[in-house]
């Protein structure tokens, strides 16, 4: 059975959030045993929360409608109003959640600048402020993103994370992992998600990115922390009723769509290699670690806006992430044939440059 309405594009590389649930996933959703989760009575949701918590080496889980809500519940848990979180300047939590930590929780954020989102314990240790009483804002949380989205799918080093964990433990600072694409990191690095997960007080993962479910994220942490987050989830308007229908898609995704992330990574690399061969300056192959490729279209004479339009005219949808940079994202709904089309269209554009 297919995945519903077909895409109007020959290859849609805009985002890995675009995937439509497969026929088999829809069947699993239709069969789900459900109850009212605000009363804690949805068995499929319970099963998903327990499964994700177990996978990540934590006591308990909490299903949320979005990755942003899972992150903001994690932030809220560790940081009091008037305190701060610190993270990478390109982190989703600070750059793409529309100021939620400030607006919803009265929390300020400070950031370090990194190379492509690569996490270094030293950056966090340098920025962290603790033990200065009433004189400066107190750092309560370090946020790490793995893989790093705006960094271009960067996989974080477990050693650096462990180094940061030692410092934060000494200084009484919590750590939250934005693991929207943690399974991509795990598959690429050959590191079990639990190895990453155990180093953090809380972890959010997204089911609706590379894993191919239509909706949902899970926050994990201690049982007490998740009980508190359940209250805040309701306050934020995220208490759901028969959400087991969504959880069934998540369970299906965890069962069927994790190992195949390696296919997305291989297709991204194949396309990057072809583009690099056509125009060596257009992509740095060392930066292609998972399912995301960042093109330096300026090196081929393009503005990103003109490049995106030209690619679209060839049936390939891409995303401008800067004046001269374009992002390509591989996912469940871009197969080998779609990758071939993308390679044909994009290599022709980087070779020719814009029309005079």
Q: Which positions touch ligand PLP (CB under 6 A)?
A: 17, 66-68, 71, 92, 145, 149, 178, 180, 206, 208, 217
CB of 42 to ligand PLP, least distance (A): 20
- The answer to whether the Cα torsion of 184, 304, 286, 118 is positive or negative is negative
Q: Which alpha helices (H) appear in the chain, and where do they start and end? A: 23-31, 43-55, 67-78, 92-95, 100-105, 121-127, 158-171, 182-189, 193-197, 223-235, 244-256, 261-278, 304-313, 336-352
Q: Which of 274, 211, 298 is nearest to 247 (CA)?
A: 211
Minimum CB–partner distance for residue 41 and ligand PLP (Å): 25
Nearest residue (CB) to ligand PLP, 68 versus 140: 68
If the CB atoms of residues 117 and 244 are measured against ligand PLP, the closer one turns out to be 117
- Closest CB to ligand PLP among residues 99, 354: 99
Q: Which is nearer to ligand PLP, 232 or 315 (CB)?
A: 232
Cα–Cα dist 352/281, whole Å? 14
We find the least distance from the C-beta atom of residue 28 to ligand PLP, in angstroms, to be: 20
The dihedral formed by the CA atoms of 199, 203, 206 and 210, expressed in degrees to the nearest 10: -10
For ligand PLP, give the closer residue by CB, 144 or 276: 144
CB of 235 to ligand PLP, least distance (A): 18
Question: Which position's Cβ is nearest ligand PLP?
Answer: 67
Work out how close the CB of 71 gets to ligand PLP at its nearest, in angstroms, rounded to a whole number: 6
Distance of closest approach, residue 63 Cβ to ligand PLP, in angstroms: 12
Write the DSSP string, 44-103. Answer: HHHHHHHHHHHHTT-SEEEEES-HHHHHHHHHHHH--TT-EEEEETT-HHHHSSTTHHHH
- Measured between alpha carbons, how far is 217 from 236 in angstroms, rounded to an integer? 15
Nearer to ligand PLP, 257 or 347 (CB): 257
List, in order, residues 6 or more apart from 166 with CB less than 8 Å away: none
CA angle 5, 328, 305 (to 5 degrees): 100
* Backbone angles phi and psi of 41, in degrees to 5: -115, 25
Contact between 268 and 290 under an 8 Å Cβ cutoff? The reply is yes
DSSP secondary structure string for all residues of 165-183: HHHHHHHT-EEEEEETTHH
Q: Between 71 and 318, whose beta carbon lies closer to ligand PLP?
A: 71
**Considering the complex, what minimum distance in angstroms separates the CB of residue 231 from ligand PLP?**
20
- From the CB of 174, what's the least distance to ligand PLP, in Å? 18
Minimum CB distance to ligand PLP smaller for 93 or for 316: 93
Give the orientation angle of helix 182-189 with respect to helix 261-278, to 10 degrees. 80
Q: In the complex, what is the shortest distance from the CB of residue 68 to ligand PLP, in angstroms, rounded to a whole number?
A: 3
Nearer to ligand PLP, 19 or 71 (CB): 71
**DSSP secondary structure code for residue 236 in this structure:** T
């Amino acid at each position: 059975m297919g995945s519903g309405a077909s895409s109007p594009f020959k290859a849609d590389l805009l985002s890995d959030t675009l995937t439509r649930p497969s026929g088999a996933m829809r069947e699993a959703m239709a069969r789900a045993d459900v109850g009212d989760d605000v009363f804690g009575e949805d068995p499929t949701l319970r099963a998903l929360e327990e499964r994700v918590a177990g996978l990540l080496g934590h006591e308990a889980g909490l299903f949320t409608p979005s990755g942003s809500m899972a992150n903001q519940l994690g932030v809220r848990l560790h940081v009091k109003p008037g305190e701060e979180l610190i993270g990478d300047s390109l982190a989703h939590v600070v750059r793409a959640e529309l100021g939620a930590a400030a607006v919803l929780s009265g929390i300020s954020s400070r950031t370090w600048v990194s190379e492509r989102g690569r996490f270094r314990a030293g950056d966090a240790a340098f920025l962290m402020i603790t033990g200065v009483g009433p004189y400066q804002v107190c750092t309560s949380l370090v946020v790490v993103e793995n893989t790093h989205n705006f960094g271009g799918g960067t996989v974080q080093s477990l050693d650096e994370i462990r180094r940061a964990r030692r410092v934060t433990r000494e200084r009484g600072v919590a750590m939250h992992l934005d693991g929207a694409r943690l399974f991509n990191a795990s598959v690429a690095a050959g590191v079990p998600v639990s190895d990453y997960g155990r180093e953090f007080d809380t972890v959010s993962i997204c089911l609706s990115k590379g894993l191919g479910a239509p909706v949902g994220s899970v926050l994990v942490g201690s049982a007490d922390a998740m009980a508190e987050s359940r209250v805040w989830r309701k306050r934020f308007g995220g208490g759901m009723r028969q959400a087991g229908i969504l959880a069934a898609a998540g369970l299906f995704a965890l069962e069927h769509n994790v190992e195949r992330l390696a296919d997305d990574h291989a297709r991204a690399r194949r396309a990057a290699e072809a583009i690099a061969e056509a125009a060596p300056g257009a992509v740095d192959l060392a930066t292609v670690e998972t399912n995301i490729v960042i093109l330096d279209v300026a090196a081929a004479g393009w503005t990103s806006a003109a490049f995106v339009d030209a690619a679209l005219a060839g049936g390939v949808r891409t995303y401008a992430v800067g004046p001269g940079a374009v992002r390509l994202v591989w996912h469940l709904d871009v197969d080998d044939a779609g990758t071939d089309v993308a390679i044909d269209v994009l290599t022709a554009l980087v070779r020719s440059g814009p029309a005079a």
